[in-house]
Amino acid sequence: MNTTLYTNLIKNEANRLGFDWVGISKAERLDDAAEKMEIWLKNGNHGKMQYLENHFEKRMDPRKLVDGAKSIISLSYNYFTHEKQSDIDAPKISTYAYGKDYHDVIKEKLKMLIDFIQNEIGEVSGRGFVDSAPVMEREWAKRSGLGWIGKNTLLIHPKKRIVFLFS
């Protein structure tokens, strides 16, 4: 097993599919994040978002979401569009809401990446998530080298001066 070769294959294919940044980290329990999250939840900082209390262990350990997971692939995808609303009387909507739903666009690309990995590397038990599972996206992106978490709680990329927003 040549992990460097596999890493490069995955990163090159992800870039070909349009992902800007790719990082890979070891699948393990997020002990530090779990401790912070427990305090954050206990203090009621999640407000009315009660769903954040659900599936705590799955949120902290990806191996409970995907049996046998060994690695986490974190990806960034720029969904910005230069398109502007033409009807000045229409209700204003966010730019990210133009075009196809980003959940569908990214999920399709994730399926293509998983298919590629299975065809080029071998059978894997991978799943792609786009706001659809209890995943600590920022923490995994940080661990995979995509940036750091700023005081504003967003992941900041060191080279592009961009901020990744996760929901």
- Locate the DSSP E strands across 27-166: 71-76, 148-149, 155-156, 163-164
The whole-angstrom separation of Cα 141 and Cα 35 is: 18
Q: Is 87 a catalytic residue?
A: no
Please list, in sequence order, all residues whose beta carbon lies within 8 angstroms of the beta carbon of residue 27, skipping any fewer than 6 positions away: 62, 63, 66, 69, 70, 71, 72
- 157 three-state secondary structure: coil
| Candidates 31, 101, 115, 131; catalytic one | 131
Active site residues: 131
